[in-house]
């Protein structure tokens, strides 16, 4: 067999051949999830494997956070996502030899993640060490339509003589998990986190119920099976004990015949509901899934995805690998958020234990822009999760001696879990990021119930936080001091431009919604004086500018700092945070990830085109992209200021972050924000889409390497498409009401007739330089 790797194909991710060393990586890229349940792409037989990985969104264990030196307001407890009861396991004995890909020979082996069927398929022809050959085919899904359900269709076929096959289908709790890295970002391994409450089995069905020791969350996992075999010489046994339930099936299967097992899995968890209630819930979900049947689940999955792609697809002509990567990215962003339903969207989705399973600003600033314009209900649900944690954010603000609400930098349940103040709680910008996502969603959907039930309060409480963190100085300017912006290599600074501009938007939006919803505002204690104080603070907000350099310093004194010595920094010392002390990073000009450049994108209406070009060039020379959240923003701004080839390089970097394992940590889970960034690079970068204050505008331009980018999106219930060619762009309305849009600054109305407009040439600016050794890889189309 050829050396295994991903094959390039527009709608699938296929890995042909067996490469055991690549398992950890491919378990993440082949993960299936629906925002509620996540299954890593491990083999059915359980071993060999990198990390087993079965996750339920929001299900975590709590642990004390260790501090060498304690301080007031430091969070006491951390939260870590739990690897819950594994239902993916189906072991096989061929005569008396266990199927284990480390032994015998894989005569054929391939796995395919299919973005349209929403399934992971496997096809293996295995020869046992004593020469018996079997073909194993499996297909699994985590249902988008029945959110408690996952299912696996598994077949074994003897290829030579009649063979005795024994199949064991398990539910296994407390699997041992080994963490092999010293990287502090990797999740702490948890030892036996689940305590048994119940185990029972009957017929082909079994259920295990557990709870966690410290966080006191309860869960139930259940399985049921359908067996298909022409022969009647078959024996089955089922058993359940605390941490293991197992259906065993033994059959003599002749050549040309198959043993097929369809395994249905149901998961449920709760912090409030009792164990019996959860058992009933998973029982009911199983019966529902059985009634739908395997083919029915496949059909539902397909039609859910047809609808998604019809609204969200991106087509790329001229770079087949990038085409695949962008669909892969969209598919995983959908999997991270589709059916979360008032749960967070973690930075890794439900694909691995990295970052302890925490959600960050990644959700609002990177993932929600995509979901807002492709599957807006999922964006709403993620924002409803934030809303559901508002009381905790209010309490956190009180602990910090502030008004309003202070949302956590990283969390699973809404409580702050960051033990590192400078790159944690001090990143107060997350509050404005949430407010911005709320406004974006409202503008895009005009969802009145959400506005009155959640948005007004979220905007009011975040605005109050800014009023209490910031202050008017003696010159009458409103300052926000002592905070950390998106760039975590510069911490606890005054007047971070990104934070100030986002806070300004937050304050103005809060004043506007309070005015539009007077009775709600009154209930929240907002009077006209408070709203006008918000407007004044917004108007008086400090926005730094360095007149000599003609750039915006990222924060106070930033442009006076010494520059990092990039020339003496060897390539292997990146990411810098793992090789240099923070104190040195903090006092130098070196940027981990887009910060001022992110302001150029999200608050682009605050800068002139000339300022954007100069700022972009200045920060380009300092930005090392030690975070995967950077390349996409650099792609967007490179495209805007006319560096289309550079934008294309960054687009590829964002889209291929996980497929090429660019950060060497994909085994801990995918970088969902970077995957969302692939959409951003296409739509906001080459499409030039901006949505300032609810006005949808485009300024499309292609990089020379591509002949077409076409994307679809939804806005105010209308579905539109934008097709970018080298010389012209075509806008189409697929359904819904006409929309007022603009193309390179010229307004037009998009109705039933397509609108085709010429594309002006890009602005001309000198090519910017990256820090020594940190230029992105020059993309050669594949």
Binding residues for substrate: 361-362, 592-593
Query: At closest approach, how far in Å is the CB of 379 from ligand BGC?
Result: 18
Instruction: Rule CB under 6 A: say whether 366 interacts with ligand BGC.
Output: no
Instruction: Name the closest residue to ligand BGC (Cβ).
Output: 360
CA proximity to 327, closest of 318, 316, 336: 316
- Options 308-316, 357-365, 373-381, 471-479: segment touching ligand BGC (CB under 6 A): 357-365
Residues between 668 and 707 that touch ligand BGC (CB under 6 A): 673
The answer to whether the CB of 604 falls within 8 A of the CB of 688 is no
Residue nearer to ligand BGC on the CB measure, 46 or 369: 369
| Shortest separation between residue 422's beta carbon and ligand BGC, angstroms | 12
Tell me how far, at minimum, the Cβ of 68 lies from ligand BGC, in Å. Answer: 22
Tally of residues, the chain: 782
Among positions 628-657, residues that touch ligand BGC (CB under 6 A) are 629
3-state secondary structure 391-422: HHHHHHHHHCCCCCCCCCCCECCCCCCCCCCC
Choice between 269 and 366, CB closer to ligand BGC: 366
**What binding mask, one character per residue, do residues 444-483 give for ligand BGC by CB under 6 A, x or -?**
----------------------------------------
User: Closer to ligand BGC at the Cβ: 526 or 629?
Assistant: 629
CA dist 455 and 449 (Å) reads 9
595 binds ligand BGC (CB under 6 A): no
How many chain residues touch ligand BGC (CB under 6 A)?
A: 12
Is 449:392 a contact under the CB 8 Å cutoff? no
Q: Which is nearer to ligand BGC, 116 or 660 (CB)?
A: 660
> Residue for token digits 């009155």?
452
3-state helix/strand/coil string of 189-206: CCCCCEEEEEEEEECCEE
Q: Which stretch binds ligand BGC (CB under 6 A): 102-110, 146-154, 358-366, 497-505?
A: 358-366
List the one residue from 43, 204, 331, 360 that touches ligand BGC (CB under 6 A). 360
Rounded least distance, CB 489 to ligand BGC, Å: 9
Applying CB under 6 A, the span of 6-14, 359-367, 373-381, 542-550 interacting with ligand BGC comes to: 359-367
Q: Which is nearer to ligand BGC, 214 or 578 (CB)?
A: 578
Residue 12 vs 627, nearer CB to ligand BGC: 627
553 neighbors 618 (Cβ within 8 angstroms) = no
Residue 125: helix, strand or coil by DSSP? strand
- How far apart, in whole angstroms, are the C-alpha atoms of residue 487 and residue 590? 9
Among residues 157, 300, 319, 362, the one that binds ligand BGC under rule CB under 6 A = 362
Q: How far is the CB of 412 from ligand BGC (least distance, A)?
A: 13
Q: Contacts from 330-333 at CB under 8 Å and sequence distance 24+? A: 330/115, 330/370, 330/374, 330/675, 330/678, 330/679, 331/113, 331/115, 331/118, 332/31, 332/658, 332/670, 332/672, 332/675, 333/367, 333/370, 333/371, 333/672, 333/675, 333/676, 333/679
Give yes or no for a contact between 383 and 342, defined as CB atoms under 8 angstroms apart: no
Closest approach, Cβ 108 to ligand BGC, in A, equals: 38
Q: Is 461 in the active site?
A: no
- Residue 591 C-alpha from the chain's centroid: 23
Restricted to residues 483-522, the positions that interact with ligand BGC (CB under 6 A) are 486, 488
Q: Smallest gap, in angstroms, from Cβ of residue 427 to ligand BGC?
A: 8
Binding mask 307-346 toward ligand BGC (x if CB under 6 A, else -) reads: ----------------------------------------
| Shortest distance, position 753 Cβ to ligand BGC, whole Å | 43
* Sole binder of ligand BGC in the list 361, 373, 385, 715 (CB under 6 A): 361
In whole angstroms, how close is the CB of 357 to ligand BGC at the nearest point? 12
**Catalytic residue chosen out of the listed positions 341, 488, 620, 640:** 488
The alpha carbon of residue 248 and the mean position of all alpha carbons in its chain are separated, in whole angstroms, by: 37
Give the residue ranges of the annotated binding site: 361-362, 592-593
Of 115-123, 356-364, 435-443, 463-471: span binding ligand BGC (CB under 6 A):
356-364
Distance CA 407, CA 464 (A): 13
Rounded distance between C-alpha atoms, residue 699 and residue 744, angstroms: 4
Sole window of 360-368, 654-662, 680-688, 710-718 interacting with ligand BGC (rule: CB under 6 A): 360-368
- Identity of the residue, 476 or 581, whose beta carbon is nearer to ligand BGC in the bound complex: 581
Q: Do residues 213 and 61 make contact, with C-beta atoms less than 8 angstroms apart? A: yes
**Among the residues of 477-567, which ranges form H helices?**
497-516, 518-523, 528-539
What's the first-to-final CA gap in the chain, in angstroms?
A: 22
Q: Can residue 347 be called a binding residue for ligand BGC (CB under 6 A)?
A: yes
Candidates 230-238, 259-267, 353-361, 563-571: pick the segment binding ligand BGC (CB under 6 A). Answer: 353-361
By CB neighbour count within 10 A (0-12 exposed, 13-18 middle, 19+ buried), where does 69 fall?
exposed
Nearest to 281 by CA among 384, 378, 173, 209: 209
Which has the closest alpha carbon to 699: 718, 724, 676, 734? Answer: 724
Calculate the alpha carbon distances from 501 to 27, 356, 603, 708, 731 in Å.
40, 31, 7, 34, 32
Beta bridge partners of 513: none
Q: Does 593 sit near ligand BGC (CB under 6 A)? A: yes
Residues that bind ligand BGC (CB under 6 A): 347, 355, 360-362, 486, 488, 592-593, 627, 629, 673
Residues taking part in catalysis: 488
């Amino acid at each position: 067999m050829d050396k295994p790797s991903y094959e390039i194909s527009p709608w699938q991710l296929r890995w042909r051949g067996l490469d055991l060393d690549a398992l950890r990586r491919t378990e993440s890229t082949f993960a299936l999830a629906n925002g509620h349940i996540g299954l890593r792409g491990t083999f059915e037989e359980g071993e060999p494997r990198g990390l087993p990985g079965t996750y339920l969104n929001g299900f975590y264990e709590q642990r004390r956070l260790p501090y060498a030196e304690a301080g007031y307001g430091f969070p006491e407890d951390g939260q870590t996502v739990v690897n819950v009861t594994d239902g993916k396991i189906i072991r096989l004995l061929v005569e008396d030899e266990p199927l284990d890909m480390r032994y015998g020979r894989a005569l054929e082996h391939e796995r395919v993640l299919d973005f349209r069927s929403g399934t992971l398929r496997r096809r293996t022809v295995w020869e046992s060490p004593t020469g018996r050959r079997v073909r194993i085919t499996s297909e699994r899904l985590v249902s988008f339509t029945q959110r408690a359900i996952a299912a696996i269709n598994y077949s074994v076929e003897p290829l030579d003589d009649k063979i005795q096959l024994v199949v064991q289908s398990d539910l296994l709790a407390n699997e041992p998990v080994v963490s092999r890295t010293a990287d502090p970002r990797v999740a702490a391994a948890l030892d036996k986190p689940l305590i048994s409450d119940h185990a029972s089995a009957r017929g082909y069905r079994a259920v295990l119920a557990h709870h966690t020791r410290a966080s006191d969350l309860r869960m139930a996992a259940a399985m049921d099976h359908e067996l298909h075999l022409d022969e009647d010489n078959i024996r089955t046994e089922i058993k359940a004990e605390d941490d293991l339930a197992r259906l065993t099936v033994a059959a003599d299967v002749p050549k040309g015949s198959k043993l097929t097992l369809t395994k249905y899995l149901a998961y449920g968890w709760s912090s409030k509901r009792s164990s019996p209630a959860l058992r009933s819930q998973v029982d009911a979900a199983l019966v529902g899934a059985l009634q739908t049947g395997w083919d029915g689940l496949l059909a539902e999955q397909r039609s859910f995805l047809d609808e998604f792609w019809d609204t969200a697809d991106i087509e790329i002509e001229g770079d087949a690998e990038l085409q695949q990567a962008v669909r892969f990215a969209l598919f995983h962003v959908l999997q991270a958020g589709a059916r979360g339903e008032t749960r967070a969207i973690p930075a890794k989705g439900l694909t691995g234990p990295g970052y302890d399973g925490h959600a960050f600003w990644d959700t609002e600033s990177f993932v929600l822009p995509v979901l807002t314009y492709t599957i807006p209900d999922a964006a709403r649900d993620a924002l409803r999760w934030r809303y559901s944690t508002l009381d905790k954010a209010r309490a956190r603000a009180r602990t910090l001696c502030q008004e309003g609400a202070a949302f956590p930098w990283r969390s699973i349940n809404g409580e702050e879990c960051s033990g590192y103040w400078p790159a944690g709680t001090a990143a107060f910008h997350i509050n404005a990021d949430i407010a911005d996502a709320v406004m974006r969603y409202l503008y895009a959907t005009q969802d009145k119930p959400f506005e009155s039930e959640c948005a007004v309060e979220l905007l009011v409480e975040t605005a109050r936080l800014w009023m209490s963190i910031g202050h008017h100085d003696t010159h009458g300017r409103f300052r926000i001091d002592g905070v950390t912006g998106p760039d975590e290599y510069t911490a606890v600074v005054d007047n971070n431009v990104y934070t100030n501009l986002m806070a300004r938007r937050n304050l103005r939006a809060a004043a506007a919604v309070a005015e539009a919803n007077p009775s709600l505002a009154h209930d929240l204690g907002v009077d006209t004086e408070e709203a006008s104080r918000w407007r004044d603070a917004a108007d008086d907000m400090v926005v730094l500018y360095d007149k000599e350099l003609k750039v915006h310093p990222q924060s106070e004194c930033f442009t006076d700092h010494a520059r990092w010595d990039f020339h003496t920094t060897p390539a292997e010392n990146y990411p810098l945070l793992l090789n240099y002390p923070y104190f040195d990073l903090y006092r130098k000009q070196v940027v981990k990830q887009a910060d001022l450049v992110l302001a150029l994108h999200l608050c682009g209406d605050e800068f002139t085109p000339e300022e954007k070009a100069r700022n972009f060039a200045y920060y380009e020379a300092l930005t090392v992209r030690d975070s995967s959240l950077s390349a996409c923003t650099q792609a967007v701004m490179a495209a805007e200021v006319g560096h289309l080839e550079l934008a294309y390089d960054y687009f590829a970097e964002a889209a291929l972050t996980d497929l090429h394992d660019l950060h060497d940590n994909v085994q801990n889970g995918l970088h969902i924000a970077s995957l969302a960034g692939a959409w951003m690079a296409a739509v906001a970068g080459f499409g030039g889409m901006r949505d300032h204050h609810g006005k949808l505008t485009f300024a499309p331009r292609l990089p020379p390497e591509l002949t077409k980018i076409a994307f679809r999106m939804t806005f105010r219930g209308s579905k539109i498409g934008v097709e970018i060619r080298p010389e012209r762009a075509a806008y189409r309305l697929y359904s819904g009401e006409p929309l007022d849009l603009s193309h390179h600054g010229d307004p037009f109305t998009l109705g039933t007739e397509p609108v085709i407009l010429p594309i002006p040439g890009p602005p001309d600016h000198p090519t910017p330089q990256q820090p020594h050794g940190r230029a992105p890889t020059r993309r050669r189309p594949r």
